Copies of this chain bind each other. A is one copy, B any other.
């Protein structure tokens, strides 16, 4: 509590104090508490009792410094405003915790400089591994990664030249899949509405894939609207309103950068009295539950973010045990036909 008061009286108990209390050597106490090694059952109990009595909490800084492997994993994500990355983090944390590991977190805010800085900072804690959803193909970052000599997983995409491992799916393929689906449904005049794509290069990859898909079938994108700022429901709503306002005839189908945006579009249609998908078709990306709970379930592509996080953590952990998980792991997306397109 009191920061100023000189507090020599109550320093946290150390292993040596536990050892003394249990009447054994420090190293024996260490082994007893860590389990595994050869320690007599009675000795172990004595030590455990002493630790309990003193309210001993081991100091892993010291342990890691002396022994080797940390049980912390650095995690760098571009954002937490979007539930998508919270999902990834949840999957990560769940798997890590199973093995007594913990994430140290950094948020890059889609800023490459910040990402690099974070990387340097987090590496200084000597984590056992690193998981990141890269913000860009930053060269400096890549160099640091290569030099870091620790298991690294890049999540959310399947970049074939990932520094080490990658867990995710191809956003380009996802965009293409949506194009094929919409074409198959008979839509022709198609538009795209997205949030600030300069920063979110995975959204950009989806757009590129979408265009590719249209091209495959001999079509082209009839209209594109990119709005400033992070994706959100209100932004999507505003986007569709503006697009319909400025373009005649209106597009037959609109692909949004993600579900948040698309749900905004659905709301606009409700307000404007447009019936889905008759008057206009809308599609999103991510498969958020909000979109599926709409009176008209959103047509979208489900990504399994939590699983991506989980598998990423698992890869780190397995690597630490000496195994060699595959370099690129595909976590499939799935097109969810709803009733909006």
Q: Which residues of B contact A60 (CB under 8 A)?
A: 124-126
Spot the interface stretch: A197-205, A230-238, A250-258, A276-284: A230-238
- The reply to whether the CB of A264 lies closer than 8 angstroms to some CB of chain B is yes
A72-B104, A80-B86, A86-B83 known; A234 and B93 CB under 8 Å? Answer: no
- The reply to whether the CB of A65 lies closer than 8 angstroms to some CB of chain B is yes
Question: When chains A and B are docked, how far (Å) is the Cα of A237 from the Cα of B297?
Answer: 13
In the complex, are the beta carbons of A124 and B59 less than 8 A apart? yes
- The reply to whether the CB of A40 lies closer than 8 angstroms to some CB of chain B is no
In the complex, are the beta carbons of B65 and A93 less than 8 A apart? no
- Identical copies in the complex: 2
Chain A 118-157 against B: per-residue CB contact (8 Å), 1 yes, 0 no? 1011111110000000000000000000010100000000
Question: When chains A and B are docked, how far (Å) is the Cα of A253 from the Cα of B328?
Answer: 52
Q: Which residues of B contact A228 (CB under 8 A)?
A: none
Q: Which residues of B contact A233 (CB under 8 A)?
A: 289-290, 293
- The reply to whether the CB of A319 lies closer than 8 angstroms to some CB of chain B is yes
Name the interface residues of A290-335: CB closer than 8 Å to any CB of B: 290, 292-295, 319-320, 322
- What are 13 contact pairs spanning A and B, CB under 8 A? A1-B149, A57-B120, A59-B124, A60-B124, A61-B126, A80-B87, A81-B86, A89-B105, A94-B107, A97-B118, A232-B289, A233-B289, A267-B295
Top 8 A-B pairs, shortest CB-CB distance = A86-B86, A233-B293, A80-B90, A271-B295, A234-B293, A270-B295, A60-B124, A61-B65
